Amino acid sequence: MTVANTISRAEVGASPRRPPPAQESGAVHWLKKNLFSSPFNTAMTLLALWALFVTLPDVIAWAFLDAIWRTDDPAACRAAAGACWAVITEKHRVILFGTFPYEEHWRGTLAIVAIVGMAIISAFKRFWSAWLFGAWLAAIGIVLVLLLGGVFGLTPTGTHQWGGLPLTLLMFVGTVVGGMPAAVLLALGRRSSLPAIKALCVGFIEVVRGVPLITVLFMASLMFPLFMPEGMTIDKFLRAQIGMILFFAAYAAEIVRGGLQAIPRGQYEAADALGLSYRQKTGRIILPQALKIVLPALMNDIIRAFKNTTFVSIIGLFDVLGATATALEDPRWVLYAQEAYIFIFVLYFAFCYSMSKYSEHIERDLSKGRNL
Amino acid sequence: MGFRNWAYQLLVVSAIIGVAAYMVGNAQDAMEKRGISTGFGFLLEEAGFDIGETPIAFQSTDTFLRAYGAAIMNTLKVSIFSIVFATILGVVLGIARLSSNMLIAKLSSAYVELFRNTPQLVQIIFWYTIITQLPVPKQAVSLFDMAFLTNRGLVVPWPEPNPAYLWTLLAFVGACVTAVLVVRWADASRRRSGRRVSVLWWNVALIAGAPLAVWMFSGAPTTVSIPKLQGFNFVGGAAMSPEFLALLLGLSLYIAAFIAEIVRAGIQSITKGQIEASRAINLSPSDTYRKVILPQALRVMVPPAAAQYVSLVKNSSLGVAIGYPELFNVNNTIVTLSGHTIEAIGMMMATYLTIALVIASIMNLYNKSVQIKER
């Protein structure tokens, strides 16, 4: 055995620091890696850049450079080459508040503030409790007082005068607040061991999910009065609200059911072993866990419920979309419908996008706990 | 099950039956007072209204039933075109979102966020206002002088009717079916003998060659009708009305955003190990894609895609907002003219329910075929 062969060639101490390879950093490398990594990618990048180059300048010129921002004379818009945003400065009151009396718009504004404020509070996990549900009911009560009037010296304003963003938001909140308990009951009913209850819940859920929302609303607004005794009428807003709640509940029930099925059987058995009643078992053990699992999926449905509030404009309510259509009936501004619709696109996008980003955040937040 | 449970159920069921009977009674009273007999007999009466566009001939002297059929065909027409368009666009966008090319990925994700987070109804109405504000046919927006976009919709070149096209189409379908059978045979023979039979080029030749041969054999017709301006409108070609076009765009561009998300999730569900493992056992890239990635991705993608298709068909009822004569819209007219509210709405709901169930069961069958076969 020779000693020389076993001598390590490792150097003692740190070797001198070497610079990173030239291509691994810097703007050129970033471009190479993200935009020009292969001939195909280079072609795609050039194609996309060309498309942007062709369209963007025109879009910017139309939307900003040549646009008319403020004028009460549509003729000025016709002379300009760009967008006529003046239609919004002229008509924003109608778009945001519909046919609500002009002097009372402050009440509509307060209603919007109340609902958006409650939504922001609900976003924080530390406020999640049974109290929050109560707070929502109280907020809805305040909003109803603001919109209905007739008390505290407020001028009475009937639901037929409601419109715009307050109507959209109230319809949305009413749908979720009214639909969630119904969804939980339907989901529990569908998993019930009582055959008649189960069949009723399955039938309701499947039929409502199989037909378009607009037919449900149509039934609520057109067919429902037929079924009532003569002389008895139910408010149009309320009928639409009931239709929205039923539709939302059927979809949300299926999601809640998914959550109920995801709870391991041991949880049910442990609750039974402790001698808990059905109500205690469901309310304190199963539902809190199930709802937590399905929250991200529920958020998708809630966002859809927000987008679906536009459907009530078809049955003649003046939500933001319906109010915009009314505003555009003015023949002087009818040519600038695109600008008005782009404005409400931005409005709806702001609400939906923040909800969807929040839902992504909550999904990450909740899955963190489960991996521990 | 105890006595109490049975009592509960009896109570709920009898309460629901009671309320239903009460409501139906009210409705019958109301109908009798207006002098409307209940029943479906009205369907054979003369409709007395016109429908803007129909795939089958329809006049106001035809029956309500025929109006109903025409409306269902309009609903199916716009839905089928939209599903095809939405699927193609959605798959492209979904793959683009995962592209290593950052620009492409960002553009695709901007599209998805924009279209997912705005109401579909506003989108449909927006497209409609844009189309109706396009120039008149005399100043049409021309696409290579072949297709023209005007405030009356879109006209595109269309082959002049000739039985040869039908035969060519049939030959194409036949060639596709044969190609699938050839691939199955090749797989089976490889399993038996262990020898690989390359059938790719045979199949390419078959799919391209068979329709071509049939087309040549049946006289190689090349006459395509290109739209031409005549007077105030275009003649020739195939025309799409502004309503159809707006609804097509509104339905397909919105659903494409959701399909893109489904495709992305499906592809991302394949772990890297799967691809490395198939490389390790020396599968060719095409086999890796065909036998490893696609079957597993489809398993994840099919159920949510089916739900989106059903949602698309149901939302075709939004055509009512822009006056496209689909089922819901025509049904409204039928309700107004005949007075048979309950029967007409019941029929309409049953129709939508049937369409939804048919799509769901087709997708279920397909889903079963891509599910894991446990042996």
Contact assignment for A214 to B328 by CB distance below 8 Å? yes
Residues B282 and B367 both lie in one domain: yes
Q: Which two tokens stand for residue A191?
A: 């998993």
Segment A130-145 shows an average pLDDT of: 86
* Mean pLDDT of the region A232-240: 84
Q: Is residue B263 a part of any domain in this protein? A: yes
B352/A215 Cβ within 8 A? yes
Nearest to A211 among B5, B332, B349 (CB): B349
Q: What whole-number distance in Å separates Cα of residue B156 and Cα of residue B150? A: 12
> Are B114 and B216 part of one and the same domain?
no
Q: Are B262 and B98 in contact (CB under 8 A)?
A: no
Is A217 contained in some domain?
yes
Q: Which residues of A touch B342 (CB under 8 A)?
A: 223, 226
Same domain, B276 and B203: no
ipTM of predicted complex: 0.86
Give the per-residue pLDDT at B189.
Answer: 85
CA distance A48 to chain B (A): 7
Structural domain includes residue B154: no
For residue A40, being part of any structural domain is answered with no
Is residue A52 in some structural domain? no
- Report chain A's terminal Cα–Cα distance, integer Å: 54
d(CA B106, CA B110): 6
Q: What is the pTM of this model?
A: 0.85
Per mean pLDDT, which range of A6-10, A169-173, B17-21, B206-210 is the poorest? A6-10
**pLDDT(B16) > 90:** no
Q: B227 pLDDT exceeds 80?
A: no
- Is residue A81 a part of any domain in this protein? no
Query: Are B189 and B307 members of one domain?
Result: no
* Residue B375: pLDDT over 60: no
Residue of A nearest to B119 (CA): A307
Across the interface, do A310 and B342 touch by the CB < 8 Å criterion?
no
Q: Do B120 and B210 belong together in one domain? A: no
The CATH number assigned to the domain holding A317 equals 1.10.3720.10
Residue B172 scores a pLDDT above 50 = yes
Percent of chain B clearing pLDDT 90 (strictly above)? 26
Bridge-based pairing state of the strands B158-159 and B153-156: unpaired
b/e string for A155-179 if b means 16 or more Cβ within 10 A? eebebebbbbbbbbbbbbbbbbebb
Q: Which of B16-25, B119-128, B210-219 has the lowest mean pLDDT?
A: B210-219
> A345: pLDDT confidence band, cut at 50, 70 and 90?
very high
- Three-state DSSP at A146 gives helix
Query: Could you tell me if B375 and B274 lie in one domain?
Result: yes
> Strand B147-150 relative to strand B233-235: parallel, antiparallel, unpaired?
unpaired
The answer to whether residue A311 sits within a structural domain is yes
Q: What is the CATH number of the domain that holds B309?
A: 1.10.3720.10
Based on the fold, state whether residues B275 and B368 are members of the same structural domain: yes
A290 in a domain, yes or no? yes
**Residue B74 maps to a domain:** yes
Does B191 map to a domain? yes
Picking from B5, B26, B113, the nearest residue to A228 by CB comes out as: B26
Matching residue, tokens 């509940």: A249
Q: Is the dihedral of CA A182, A187, A193, A199 positive or negative?
A: positive
**B288 lies in a domain?**
yes
Task: Tell me, yes or no, whether B57 and B187 share the same domain.
Answer: no
Using one digit for the tens of pLDDT, what is the confidence trace for A66-123? 777 877 777 777 777 877 887 888 788 888 888 888 778 888 888 888 899 988 888 8
Over residues B328-342, mean pLDDT:
86
Which residues in chain A touch residue B113, judged by CB atoms under 8 angstroms apart? 353, 356
**What is the structure's pLDDT at A5?**
58
Q: Indicate whether B368 and B280 sit together in one domain.
A: yes
Q: What's residue A372's pLDDT?
A: 39
What sign results for the dihedral spanned by CA atoms B103, B108, B111, B116?
negative
CB contact under 8 A, A34 and B100: yes
pLDDT (tens digit per residue) in A154-170 = 777 777 888 889 999 99
Q: Whole domain around residue B114: which residue ranges?
A: 46-127+240-338+358-375
Least Cα distance to B132 among A190, A338, A136 occurs for A338
HEC sequence for chain B: CCHHHHHHHHHHHHHHHHHHHHHHHHHHHHHHHHCCCCCCHHHHCECCCCCCCCCCCCCCCCEHHHHHHHHHHHHHHHHHHHHHHHHHHHHHHHHHHCCCCHHHHHHHHHHHHHHHCCCHHHHHHHHHHHHHCCCCHHHCEEECCCEEEECCEEEECEECCCHHHHHHHHHHHHHHHHHHHHHHHHHHHHHHHCCCCCCHHHHHHHHHHHHHHHHHHCCCCCCEECCEEECCEEECCEEECHHHHHHHHHHHHHHHHHHHHHHHHHHHCCCHHHHHHHHHCCCCHHHHHHHHHHHHHHHHHHHHHHHHHHHHHHHHHHHHHCCCCCHHHHHHHHHHHHCCHHHHHHHHHHHHHHHHHHHHHHHHHHHHHHCCCCC
A205-214 per-position pLDDT tens digit: 988 998 999 9
Q: What are phi and psi of A230, to 5 degrees?
A: -60, 140
pLDDT at A4: 55
**B144, part of any domain:** no
Highest mean pLDDT among A28-37, A287-296, B209-218: A287-296
Asked whether residue B262 falls in the same domain as residue B317, the answer is yes
Q: Residue A47: inside a domain, yes or no?
A: no
**Which residue of B5, B9, B117 is the best one to mutate when testing the A interface, meaning the one whose CB has the most A CBs within 10 A?**
B117
The owner of tokens 């529990």 is A188
- Domain shared by B195 and B251, yes or no: no
Structural domains in chain B (count) = 2
Residue A6: predicted pLDDT: 63
| Beta carbons of B342 and A226 less than 8 Å apart | yes
Angle, CA A210 vertex, CA A205 and CA A214 arms, to 5°: 105
Residue B34 belongs to some domain of the structure = no
Alpha-carbon torsion, ordered B16, B18, B23, B24, to 10 deg: 100
- Mutation choice for A interface testing from B122, B133, B251, B317 by most A CBs within 10 A: B122
In chain A, % of residues over pLDDT 70: 94
Residue A290: domain span: 88-371
| Token output for B183 | 């691939």
Dump pLDDT digits (tens) for B235-279: 777 788 889 999 999 999 999 999 999 999 888 888 888 888 988
What 8-state DSSP symbol labels residue A211? S
**What is the predicted pLDDT for the residue at A371?**
45
Claim to verify: residue B190 and residue B267 sit in the same structural domain:
no
Are the beta carbons of B117 and A348 separated by less than 8 Å? yes
pLDDT score at A106:
85
pLDDT tens-digit map of A46-76: 888 998 998 888 888 888 877 778 777 777 7
Residues 6+ apart with CB under 8 A from A118: A135, A136, A139
Query: Is the pLDDT score of A347 beyond 90?
Result: yes
Within a domain: B254: yes
Number of separate domains in chain A: 1
Domain membership of residue A155 (yes or no) is yes
CB-based contacts of B19, cutoff 8 Å, min separation 6: none
Residues of A with Cβ-Cβ distance to B125 under 8 angstroms: 321, 325, 341
